[in-house]
């Protein structure tokens, strides 16, 4: 029963004790994967960038630092009001300057125009989407032709979490996500072993095909 409750908090943390624990886990365990996803996106100073499932905002901070030109813009989308408020406090200065805009909502309804985004990234996120294909299709819609999306994960740690009873009923397998991406307009979908500062992780790459 506890595993089921905690899985729900990981998917959508609430302002509660378990939600606070989930936030602390994100801050401790996700920073490396968040920063790695940003690096692999190769964000340019004037890019328009979107992070999905931004959690407490660690990846947003890393991406915002790279957007140094006036045209550089960072969007974030998260389904948790608790995470939205936490990240809003963390990114307050960038939000006030207009560089960063955060949205509260679902990946299936991203409040951006078609062909608006140069880079998309996320970390430990797709497992919780109710429909991988609907989410992938909506992400593809907002990406420019040739735009890159990067997803990072620690597969061995993820498998241990699933074995513990958490996430067991989710679409956690990266192969399922990659299949959904390929079926909704993405090309060059691949998963690669990556290493940074002697730490290994997996990264899924996908390019928006608007042909």
CATH number at residue 64: 3.40.50.150
Query: Is the predicted pLDDT of residue 44 greater than 90, yes or no?
Result: yes
What rounded mean pLDDT belongs to the chain? 90
| Cα–Cα distance measured from residue 201 to residue 147, given in angstroms and rounded to the nearest whole number | 22
Q: 122 - beta bridge partners? A: 52, 151
| Cα–Cα distance measured from residue 151 to residue 163, given in angstroms and rounded to the nearest whole number | 22
Sequence-ordered alpha helix ranges (H) in 51-143: 58-66, 81-90, 92-97, 132-142
- Total domains, the chain: 1
Residue 92 CB neighbour total at 10 angstroms: 11
C-alpha atoms less than 13 angstroms from C-alpha of 29 in its C-beta half-sphere: 15
Structural domain for 204, as ranges: 2-208
Sequence-ordered alpha helix ranges (H) in 12-72: 17-29, 31-41, 58-66
Query: Is the predicted pLDDT of residue 25 greater than 60, yes or no?
Result: yes
pLDDT at residue 30, rounded to an integer: 77
Of the pLDDT bands very low, low, confident and very high (cuts 50, 70, 90), residue 3 is low
8 Å CB contact between 127 and 57: no
Of the pLDDT bands very low, low, confident and very high (cuts 50, 70, 90), residue 108 is very high
| Of 54 and 12, the one with more pLDDT | 54
Provide the whole-model pTM: 0.92
pLDDT at residue 2, rounded to an integer: 47
Structure tokens at 2: 């506890």
């Amino acid at each position: 029963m506890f595993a089921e409750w905690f899985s729900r908090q990981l998917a959508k943390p609430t302002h509660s004790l378990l939600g606070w624990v989930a936030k602390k886990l994100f801050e401790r365990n996700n920073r490396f994967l968040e920063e790695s996803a940003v690096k692999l996106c190769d964000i340019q100073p004037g890019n328009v960038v979107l992070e999905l499932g931004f959690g407490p905002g660690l990846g947003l901070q890393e991406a915002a630092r790279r957007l140094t030109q006036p045209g550089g813009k960072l969007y974030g989308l998260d389904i948790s009001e608790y995470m939205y408020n936490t990240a809003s406090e963390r990114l307050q200065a960038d939000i006030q300057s207009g560089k960063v805009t955060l949205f509260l909502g679902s990946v299936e309804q991203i409040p951006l125009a078609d062909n608006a985004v140069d880079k998309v990234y996320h970390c430990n996120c797709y497992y919780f989407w109710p429909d991988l294909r609907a989410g992938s299709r909506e992400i593809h819609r907002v990406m420019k032709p040739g735009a890159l999306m990067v997803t990072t994960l620690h597969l061995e740690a993820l498998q241990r979490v699933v074995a513990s009873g958490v996430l067991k009923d989710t679409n956690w397998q990266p192969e399922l996500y990659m299949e959904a991406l390929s079926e909704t307009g993405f090309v060059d979908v691949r998963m690669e072993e990556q290493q940074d500062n002697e730490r290994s992780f997996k990264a899924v790459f996908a390019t928006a095909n608007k042909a």
